[in-house]
A and B are shown apart, each in its own frame.
Chain A
Amino acid sequence: METKAQDALVRPSVLPSSHPSGDKRFKMLDAAMKRHQFQSDALLEVLHQAQELFGFLGDDVLIYVGRALKAPLARVYGVATFYNFFTLKPKGAHTCTVCLGTACYVKGASEILNGLREKYGVKPGETTGDGKLSVVVARCVGACGIAPAVAFDSEVTGKQTKARVLERLVPWMERT
């Protein structure tokens, strides 16, 4: 039955020293887990690190982390899906984050989202078909003084409008 197979996945007899794929990022993840002495308390820190390395938390990464920290896959998956920050799907090459905090909302952030939907056909949380652009919403990036705020990848910009965002997106997406 499936339970047995899962059990084998979650509780291996030997701790994996690194991933069979030979992917170096797993070695870096190992180092991060070692820093926390493979304590399952450090699950959030380890998932943060994993997402930074891989860009998203795929099944293999979650299984790998669960094994190393001796945490049931149910708990790893539970934590990974509980927090908004973790994503289980790969993101596009670029991410446009529209802040939907109260200050941004009353200053018209939803107009910006409408503009993105009209032009690229993506709703918050989605990625364009060509994998170039992901649109996400943030609960509040704390840039309320310069609302509405929009982040192009990690660069936060303030006082945005629909027109300004759409204008900026084109050259920005060309960049690699």
Chain B
Amino acid sequence: MNSEELQHIVERKQAERAGVRHRVCVCAAAGCQSLGAEAVLEATRKAVKQKGLAESVEVHGTGCLGLCHAGTMVQIESGPPGEEARVLYQKVDAANAEEIVLRHLEGHSDEEHAVAADAPFYAHQRRIVLEGSGRIDPEDIEHCIGAGAYQALHKALTELSPAEVVKEVTTSGLRGRGGAGYPTGLKWGTVSKASAQKKYVICNADEGDPGAFMDRSVLEGDPHRVLEGMAIAAFAVGADQGFIYVRGEYPLAIKRLRQAIKQAERAQLIGNRIFETAFNFRVDLRIGAGAFVCGEETALLQSVEGQRGQPRPRPPFPAQAGLWGEPTLINNVETFANVPTIVNKGGAWFQKIGTAKSTGTKVFALAGKINHTGLIEVPMGMSLRKIIYDIGGGIPGGKAFKAAQTGGPSGGCIPAQHLDLPVDYESLQTVGTIMGSGGLIVMDETSCMVDVARFFMEFCMEESCGKCIPCRAGTVQMHDILQKIVDGRAVESDLGKLEELAELLKSTSLCGLGQTAPNPVVSTLRYFRDEYRAHIEEKRCPAGVCQFGQGKEVAA
């Protein structure tokens, strides 16, 4: 494909769009699909066709619309492009889809199912990564191109030099969205400076944290954005081969990625001489096989090479010696998804969003004891209170907020006294947790923090790869002590042992898994030590979760 052809598709799709009066987008992400989105899409298509409206009403599936608990979500866009009105409907099913959609097309909105346009869930969000979700059909590349996909790649290849691309990303202040927050521009710079015949770009889509589904939603809702980001990265660092390492547990994301790669290859947006420049780029998919440790970058490299996913010592870092010993750039899905917007609008534009040190937006998966479970994207630095109470709608059943857990098994919890904390990389660190990949699990007064710590330790114990002893044996020992505490068999000295082990794992494990495995324990000990004490000294679980020998002390 060359520049004219890309422009041609954009114009054709925009003309088509202008001829359509309404556009019905049915959420086709995994959450809504398991609530029957396929049937809703089918019923809507049938209804529109029967009414003879197929010419003026476009019906297609789209990416995550956010409010997963109220699925299936349907968004109807009306009016000419640029000034379209959007109405969102929740809890649509195959039975009521026809009525809701047809009534809307006649100008009557179904009050019962409509979500107010100024609903706080949406009003406080700012969408960059999820920009296309809800607007584009992820299964149709031309539809995506019509909405602006691959324009940034075109700009990078035809107007910018690799060094200029790296500079834009550095200016933007973008930091790794996988959790650690390493400056993306710095990483790109290192790989671009490494001298080697062959370099690789890897997209880490092994979203292993339990309770997190941001990357899954991005891959399902806008796979071309990720491919485009990877291609721009490859151009910037001088790589010509990319891999996407995606979790085997995400069949829909795998399907959409396969489809997207095939379509992009056919359109020659991936392959040789892209946009008639000297730049070549190929992408292959690698399917993970259910090992949490493979989210660690060196373990991921081992896995791509067809080995057991056991981490390698660093240095050398992958940027110097990665896949098959060659310089390799590894970034997370969300990081790549930010890149096209940065190239299009410039690093300086991006840098103004968020806080000084944490720029841009962050996608969070809200889950647990919260009214609006689902997917949100907010500017960095928003307070936790705003996220949980305004966007998330607070805690169900009038219960009291106890803590929010971020960062999965490597993170910690944020208790109620820090609700006004701005959510950015540094602030979260000061209270003993991490940004993580974006899973935000809310716990109320009925959640036992000791049990949650035990849950995460069990997770790390089972997912430890076994290569280094501190992690392999240490997680087992820590889990045993936590199990004793929740069973009411622990003694006073166990808390000290637990803290000693936590320090040991943190300072001597080989990779991030072992080094961060104690975090949930350390963090809950910091804020909820009295709960540990109640378990040990009084054999009582304040939340009424843990069952001791003689049955529950507190009725649930």
- B309 and A139 contacting across the interface, CB-CB below 8 Å: no
Q: A102-B408, A102-B455, A106-B441 are in contact. Are A145 and B368 (CB under 8 A)?
A: no
The listed residue (B35, B248, B250) touching A48 by CB distance below 8 A is B248
A88 within 8 Å of B (CB atoms): no
A43 to chain B minimum Cβ distance, whole angstroms, is: 4
The listed residue (B34, B68, B309, B405) touching A156 by CB distance below 8 A is B34
A164 to chain B minimum Cβ distance, whole angstroms, is: 14
A146 to chain B minimum Cβ distance, whole angstroms, is: 5
A39–B324 CA distance with the chains assembled, in angstroms: 14
A100 within 8 Å of B (CB atoms): yes
A41 within 8 Å of B (CB atoms): yes
A149–B365 CA distance with the chains assembled, in angstroms: 15
- B290 and A139 contacting across the interface, CB-CB below 8 Å: yes
Residues on B with beta carbons closer than 8 Å to the beta carbon of A155: 34
Q: A82-B308, A147-B373 are in contact. Are A139 and B69 (CB under 8 A)?
A: no
Chain B 335-361: CB-based contact to A (< 8 A → 1; otherwise 0): 000000000000000000000000000
For chain B, the count of residues having a C-beta within 8 Å of the partner chain is 55
B310 to chain A minimum Cβ distance, whole angstroms, is: 8
- B439 and A144 contacting across the interface, CB-CB below 8 Å: yes
- A144 and B373 contacting across the interface, CB-CB below 8 Å: yes
The listed residue (A44, A75, A140, A149) touching B212 by CB distance below 8 A is A140
- A102 and B211 contacting across the interface, CB-CB below 8 Å: yes
A66 within 8 Å of B (CB atoms): no
Using a CB-CB cutoff of 8 Å, which residues 429-461 of chain B contact chain A? 439, 441, 443, 447, 452, 455-456, 459
- A145 and B69 contacting across the interface, CB-CB below 8 Å: yes
The listed residue (B71, B287, B408, B463) touching A44 by CB distance below 8 A is B287
A84 within 8 Å of B (CB atoms): yes
Residues on B with beta carbons closer than 8 Å to the beta carbon of A159: 69
User: Which residue from chain A places its CB closest to the CB of B466 in the assembled complex?
Assistant: A82
A155–B35 CA distance with the chains assembled, in angstroms: 10
- A103 and B441 contacting across the interface, CB-CB below 8 Å: yes
Residues on B with beta carbons closer than 8 Å to the beta carbon of A82: 291, 308-309, 465
Q: A106-B443, A155-B34 are in contact. Are A145 and B210 (CB under 8 A)?
A: no
A53 within 8 Å of B (CB atoms): no
B364 to chain A minimum Cβ distance, whole angstroms, is: 11
User: Which residue from chain A places its CB closest to the CB of B372 in the assembled complex?
Assistant: A145
Using a CB-CB cutoff of 8 Å, which residues 99-115 of chain A contact chain B? 100-103, 105-107
The listed residue (B216, B291, B455) touching A142 by CB distance below 8 A is B216
- B369 and A44 contacting across the interface, CB-CB below 8 Å: no
- B306 and A79 contacting across the interface, CB-CB below 8 Å: yes
Residues on A with beta carbons closer than 8 Å to the beta carbon of B456: 102
Residues on B with beta carbons closer than 8 Å to the beta carbon of A139: 208, 210, 249, 290, 292, 459, 463
Chain B 209-221: CB-based contact to A (< 8 A → 1; otherwise 0): 1111100100000
Residues on B with beta carbons closer than 8 Å to the beta carbon of A79: 306-308
Q: A138-B249, A140-B249, A142-B250 are in contact. Are A78 and B212 (CB under 8 A)?
A: no
A39–B304 CA distance with the chains assembled, in angstroms: 12
List the interface of chain B (C-beta within 8 A of A).
30-31, 33-35, 68-69, 71, 207-213, 216, 247-251, 286-292, 303-309, 365-369, 373-375, 405, 408, 439, 441, 443, 447, 452, 455-456, 459, 463, 465
| 28 A-B pairs in the complex with CB atoms less than 8 angstroms apart | A42-B306, A43-B307, A44-B286, A48-B248, A79-B308, A82-B291, A83-B291, A100-B210, A102-B210, A102-B405, A102-B439, A102-B441, A103-B441, A106-B441, A138-B249, A139-B292, A140-B208, A141-B30, A142-B249, A143-B213, A144-B213, A144-B373, A146-B71, A155-B34, A156-B30, A157-B34, A158-B35, A159-B69
